[in-house]
Amino acid sequence: MSSSSDFQQDRHSFSGSPQKWNDFELPGDTLYYRFTSDMSNTEWGYKFTVTAGHLGRFQTGFEILKQMLSEERVVPHLPLAKIWEWQVGVACRQTGHQRLKAIHLLLKIVQCSAQRDCDLTLLKPLWQLFTHMENNLCHDVAKPGILLPLHRALAELFFVTENRVTELGSLQEYLLALNTEDHLHRCTAQ
């Protein structure tokens, strides 16, 4: 079982009697599983139960943090650099609505940070996801240009972030940090 279709992330493998199975949690809102029989028995297989995570844990944390970031008098007392780091990690690991909510919080942090509170280079995995989505959109001219919610959220995040680093005078360093050397060579060649 895994949280990714390629079974590389948050992988849990079980074999044998039910006593060898342990409860575990997977991040996100999707579970992928693969069942393979070795044909050694004539049993019917395994049965497992999937239960939604701890009720409200993600939603509660999201609402509390969103409210704290909305309070101007509270923001200066928050460890924004650490919160930024955590939220980038959440946005990279989660899927679906939870990823969108994490991106929403990243956007709020960028908008309310007064100085260089955020290590913007941590956005590199999300930038790669965004550029991949952009490239697929450009190559698929048969489909109308409707953006998925994740694509729109990432576009807004990077638009606001680019404006913010421009205000701070560090646009060039930011763009160099997000892009790979290969990408920069291709852009230069173009």
Q: Each residue's pLDDT tens digit in the chain (190 positions)?
A: 898 889 988 898 887 776 677 777 777 778 888 888 777 777 666 777 777 665 557 788 888 899 999 998 998 889 998 999 999 999 998 888 889 999 999 999 988 875 567 888 899 999 989 988 888 776 555 555 556 899 999 999 999 988 888 888 888 888 888 887 777 777 778 7
Distance CA 33, CA 36 (A): 10
> Residue 155 falls within a domain, yes or no?
yes
> Residue 111 falls within a domain, yes or no?
yes
Distance CA 114, CA 174 (A): 17
> Residue 132 falls within a domain, yes or no?
yes
> Residue 140 falls within a domain, yes or no?
yes
In the chain, what is the greatest distance between 2 CA atoms, to the nearest angstrom? 68
> Residue 16 falls within a domain, yes or no?
no
> Residue 152 falls within a domain, yes or no?
yes
> Residue 124 falls within a domain, yes or no?
yes
Place of tokens 């892009």: 179
- The domain tally of the chain equals 1
CB atoms within 10 A of CB 127: 22
> Residue 34 falls within a domain, yes or no?
no
Q: Which domain holds residue 93?
A: 54-177
Query: What angle do helix axes 149-168 and 124-139 make, rounded to 10 degrees?
Result: 120
